[in-house]
Amino acid sequence: MRLDVNGFLGAYPWRRVPGTSPEALLAAMDRTGIDTAWVTHLPSLFWRDPTEGNTWLYEAADAHERLEPVPCVHPALPHWEEALSDAATRGAPAVRCDPHHFGLAPVGDEMRVLAAACGAAKLPLLMTVRLEDARQRHPHDLVPELAAASVRALLRSDPDVRLVITHADRPFIEEVHWGSTAAEQARVWWDIAWIWGPPEDHLAHLIATVGVERFVFGTGQPLRIPENAVAKLDLLDLSQRDRAAIESGNVTQGVLG
Amino acid sequence: MLIDVHAHFFPERSARADWREYNASRLRAGERIGITVHLNSVLGTFGRSSPTYFPSPADVTYGNEWAFGLQREQPRRVRTYVCVNPNYPDHALAEIERGRAAGAVGIKLAASRRATDPLLDPICAAGARHGLPILHHIWQHRRRDWPGQEASDAAELCHLAARHPTVHFILAHIGGGGDWLHSLAVVSRHGNVLVDLSGSGVDGGMLEACLAAVGAERLLWGTDMTMETGWAKLRYLERLLPPEPLELIRWKNAARIFPPRSFPGD
């Protein structure tokens, strides 16, 4: 079982990206042995009301059982609690709020309230550090990257909040992990999409130091080719048990447990 | 056969304390991926006693000497680009001659001097004279100066390539940061510039764009600092291409532009 927590559907505004339809994503999943993908409606991240894409997302997920919806919630909009409630009712595995994309202070009152509400609803909150390498972004794409300090602050803001952070690299993960208590560390999971393999061996190092239980399989597809996440696992000397934990067990027994 | 045209091994006197582990990891991952030959360049001491992209002549000599030693230690799987700093033209030319004698098969230009600068001409002339391709570090669409390097972009490299039409230039790491779409638009018109697929970038659509811009005939496979991204791109290409163009990218294009007998079975 291989579960991708970091998938998108729909067009990217800053460059042409092929394969953004549900059918194309499923074909890429077939190609790379991915059974299930958590997906967000990518254009929504750039809309004034990001929840406007959620209906389409739910319909797409309803039509394709291997796709699970991760809808957007914008805690500064008046209907945000309804969006969160819908997510719980529709069985979404997590909700998404990328504060910088939504124009929110990443640890401001709205985000703290959302974190607490997600904790109460037992819905993990998913956020990305970045969508693209800063060196290649469109000149008008000026959205700041999520800071490690923001993740630490959100973890501390509510004892029940669980975070899934995508596209973080080794320094970011280490800064949060070693800057948190054991109880806080246990409420955040990292996808492997942006962590380097050999010869730097960042992923191998993090598994050895931070612990295999903190990592989940994520690709960033179709913004990034999913072969990358599979290749970095294939380059690790992992037991079957640890590999299965990263590929799905840490989600089913940790994030959703 | 699979040739990695963009590899770095770190020398003992580098800024990395873990240089041994790093080098061993590259070789180990190479075995798993199926890399036949790692084409290595050593940029001086990689910042320990002079800047990585502005290595002093002494560091250039040290780094090259260490690289030649590695090639002697690993004669089946490591080949060498001789690294030069064009700000020291006599030293650069002497290093190229020394490199040829030691078995170097190409020249590495990092980011010590803009590609449009005439100081690069004698180096390229040496490359032409000896049939050595030149791997040139590139910042894809450099919009400004970046600290720590005098980087060039594809447009600047193509100026140089136009001045030296008999030399094969390798545009480094198309996935290594910056706007690769800009680079591809520029290089498509310059037949003596090949594109190295290395770099940490694995953007959806990038490989299709590379093929559309220059065709399989001008693509070279490589890894640079992240080997999993190289393997991922290779796996993607295996699904995208029939065997013949795939072989061009895996090794045949490299065998065509590097000197004869640079690689096993060549």
Q: Which residues of A lie closer than 8 Å to B, measured between beta carbons?
A: 15-19, 31, 132-133, 135-136, 139, 196-201, 221-225, 227-228, 230-232, 234-235
Q: What percentage of chain B carries pLDDT values higher than 90?
A: 96
Coil/strand/helix, residue A7: strand
Which positions in chain A touch B205 (Cβ < 8 Å)? 15-18
Express each pLDDT in B198-242 by its tens digit: 999 999 999 999 999 999 999 999 999 999 999 999 999 999 999
- Identify the domain containing residue A45 by its residue range: 3-255
Question: Is residue A43 reached through a cis peptide bond, with omega within 30 degrees of 0 on the bond before it?
Answer: no
Express each pLDDT in B106-147 by its tens digit: 999 999 999 999 999 999 999 999 999 999 999 999 988 989
Backbone angles phi and psi of A171, in degrees to 5: -60, -40
In the predicted model, is pLDDT for residue B48 greater than 90? yes
DSSP sequence for chain B: --EEEEE----TTSS-TTHHHHHHHHHHHHHHHT-SEEEE---TTTTSSS-TTS--HHHHHHHHHHHHHHHHHSTTTEEEEEEE-TTSHHHHHHHHHHHHHHT--EEEE-SSS-TTSGGGHHHHHHHHHHT--EEE---BT--S--TT-----HHHHHHHHHH-TTS-EEE--TTSSB-HHHHHHHHTT-TTEEEE--SS--BTTHHHHHHHHH-GGGEE---TTBHHHHHHHHHHHHHHS-HHHHHIIIIIHHHHHSPTT-STT-
Coil/strand/helix, residue A33: coil
Q: How far away is chain A from the Cα of B22, in angstroms, using its nearest Cα? A: 5
Give me chain B's average pLDDT, please: 97
In the predicted model, is pLDDT for residue B192 greater than 80? yes
In the predicted model, is pLDDT for residue A136 greater than 90? yes
Question: Are residues A15 and B181, on separate chains, in Cβ contact within 8 Å?
Answer: yes
Which positions in chain B touch A222 (Cβ < 8 Å)? 204
Count: domains in chain A? 1
Q: Are B183 and B206 in contact (CB under 8 A)?
A: no
Coil/strand/helix, residue A10: coil
**CB pairs A-B closer than 8 Å:** 94
Q: Would you state the structure tokens that stand for residue A118, as one six-digit string? A: 């997600």
Q: How confident is the model at residue A64 (pLDDT cuts 50, 70, 90)?
A: very high
- pLDDT at residue number B265: 72
In the predicted model, is pLDDT for residue B266 greater than 80? no
Q: What percentage of chain A carries pLDDT values higher than 90?
A: 100
What one-character DSSP code corresponds to residue A145?
A: P
Indicate the helix (H) or strand (E) that contains A109: helix A109-121
Which positions in chain A touch B33 (Cβ < 8 Å)? 235
In the predicted model, is pLDDT for residue B182 greater than 80? yes
Question: Are residues A235 and B32, on separate chains, in Cβ contact within 8 Å?
Answer: yes
Structural domains of chain B ordered from first start: 3-257 (3.20.20.140)
Q: Please classify residue A173 by burial: count the beta carbons closer than 10 Å to its beta carbon, then call 0-12 exposed, 13-18 middle and 19+ buried.
A: buried
Coil/strand/helix, residue A62: helix
For tokens 């799987």, name the residue: B77
Q: Would you state the structure tokens that stand for residue B157, as one six-digit string? A: 């490299």
Express each pLDDT in A203-252 by its tens digit: 999 999 999 999 999 999 999 999 999 999 999 999 999 999 999 999 99
Q: How far apart are CA A176 and CA A168, in angstroms?
A: 10
What ipTM did this prediction achieve?
A: 0.97
Coil/strand/helix, residue A102: helix
Q: Are A94 and A102 in contact (CB under 8 A)?
A: no
The CATH number assigned to the domain holding A103 equals 3.20.20.140
What one-character DSSP code corresponds to residue A238?
A: -
Q: Determine the longest span between alpha carbons in chain A, in angstroms.
A: 49
Residue of B nearest to A233 (CA): B228
Strands A67-69 and A95-96 come out as unpaired
Question: Nearest to residue B38, comparing CAs of B131, B135, B126, B112?
Answer: B135
Express each pLDDT in B54-96 by its tens digit: 999 999 999 999 999 999 999 999 999 999 999 999 999 999 9
Which positions in chain B touch A136 (Cβ < 8 Å)? 140, 177-180, 201, 203
Half-sphere exposure of A239 (CA within 13 A, CB side): 6
**Closest in A133, A196, A200 to B201, CB measured:** A133
What one-character DSSP code corresponds to residue A214?
A: G
Which positions in chain B touch A223 (Cβ < 8 Å)? 203-204
In the predicted model, is pLDDT for residue B159 greater than 80? yes
- pLDDT at residue number B264: 86
**Closest in A18, A196, A224 to B226, CB measured:** A196
Express each pLDDT in A165-214 by its tens digit: 999 999 999 999 999 999 999 999 999 999 999 999 999 999 999 999 99
- pLDDT at residue number A257: 84
Half-sphere exposure of A77 (CA within 13 A, CB side): 19
Backbone angles phi and psi of B79, in degrees to 5: -125, 165
Question: Are residues A198 and B227, on separate chains, in Cβ contact within 8 Å?
Answer: yes
